[in-house]
Structure 1
Amino acid sequence: MRLLRVGPHGAERPAVLDPDGSLFDLTGITTDIDGAFLSGDGLERTRDALAAGTLPRLADEPRRVGAPVARPGKIVCVGLNYADHAAESGAEPPAEPVIFFKASNTLVGPDDEVLIPRGSTKTDYEVELAVVIGRTARYLDSPDEAAGVIAGYSTCNDVSEREFQLERGGQWVKGKSCETFNPMGPWLVTPDEVGDPQDLALRTWVNGELVQDGHSGNMIFGVHHIVWYLSRFMVLDPGDVINTGTPAGVALGRPGQPYLRPGDVMEVEVGGLGRQRQTLGAA
């Protein structure tokens, strides 16, 4: 299934997109797509209602799409998780996953404006495969258990300010948590529709130029390993989001590639999970 949230910022309504592209209202099943919905019987009830044809259809009209999951307790990120990106960043491939956090209120819709922070000179793009947790994960015994706690997958753009991240005291969170720095969506796609999460293409365009062209099969640490690994250090709660790293091609690693400026347009996609388009503005 493809779940999404549509409507004005702060007043999104939950919906599901069926295979023929029709959009159906889920407000009779849940008030939102959040941890409570994902950890309960919400997915099963949605699947049954969609099959039975009992969901009200939303009219075909232009509407804003919000991030597909509401109010995540945390956004956990994995850095340097593609060898080609580690190399372009001047870093050795890590022996264990490199973990950092983004503020949960960085989350915006897939086509919302992204704001360049005040004083920024090095705002950068990063297409990523995002994982959404659907069951509490605590001390998983092995990566094999990870599949059972994943509610679905989504496209994410881990926007980063490189000076704040790397030149202002070594605190990555400062370069990752600026407002609007985590566009996500358009959909939360359930695992049965995604198939193998290590067989997905990841691409980014800036002003129409293809700048990232990667594949999730090239992750140093795969999705299931990451979820298992994180569960050894923290409790993962339903609704939590995990950004799993970016392939090569970011401005940081491309000599002559300019950093983002107001008016630039970013487009990012993960195969089967949908495409985003953001225009850059000034904070």
Structure 2
Amino acid sequence: MDVAMDMEGLSVAEVVMTTALVVAGRATAVFFVKKCLSHTDDLYATADNVYSIFFHSYIFWLATDVSIHLRGASIDDADSAQLRLHGTTRSSNLYLWLFVIDNTVHIPLQLSKDVPFAKRATVAAHHLVSNICYLGGLWTQRMHFWGCLAGLCEITNPLLSVVFMLKELNLAQQPEGPWPRVFEGFSLLTWVSFLLFRILLLPSWILLFSLDIKLHPHVSETTTLVERVGYPLTVLAVLLMSILWMVPLTKGLVKIFHGASRAVPLRKSQ
């Protein structure tokens, strides 16, 4: 198998440009909410949701592209393991830089939110640990496939942001029109995405990574202990957080559809 790897990362100028775009994107979201959604109860939370719809959809697309191109042929093929551990692409470098930069910008914003401190600290700590792993990947130009495969879980963020936006704008509670059904549809889609891309994907990630290390020790010899242990532990932490988040998400979904079924009486058959 011919393993092709692009070892070229982003230049300093490209990193600066990417940072400027992330900051500009968040600033634009705040400006948009101030001008068009000024009646919102929480300006910055709403702006965060608007930004997330676009940003996390884009990085999910990048993560999908990398996961497809660096997945290799099979789990027991040595060249495929080499590609998964050491392969990089322009998309993988862009994904990692975008993730690190946005996390860095978002940490102080997250800590300033009007939510319980434990929740703020947990998300901020997750951002920090993820940054450490991804910066290591950018420095060594390794583990890009595994970083992007785990990054597929980010698709839950834009879907959840749409749900929050519909509630924030009181569209979900409208007695008539399509918006309540749109709210129900995105609520169900969010729940399904959590199930597929977090509850199922993340333990699968840990299993596949462990198999690669076990089946191809000669390939993994060039990785560090931090990479072999830090990455799985980080993914495990995200999995545990996702399981905790799945509980209120499931309760909310049941409440939404139970309320909808009670609000719409069944018609008698003709």
TM over 0.5: no
The higher-RCO structure (CA 8 Å, 6+ apart) is 1
Structure with the larger helix share = 2
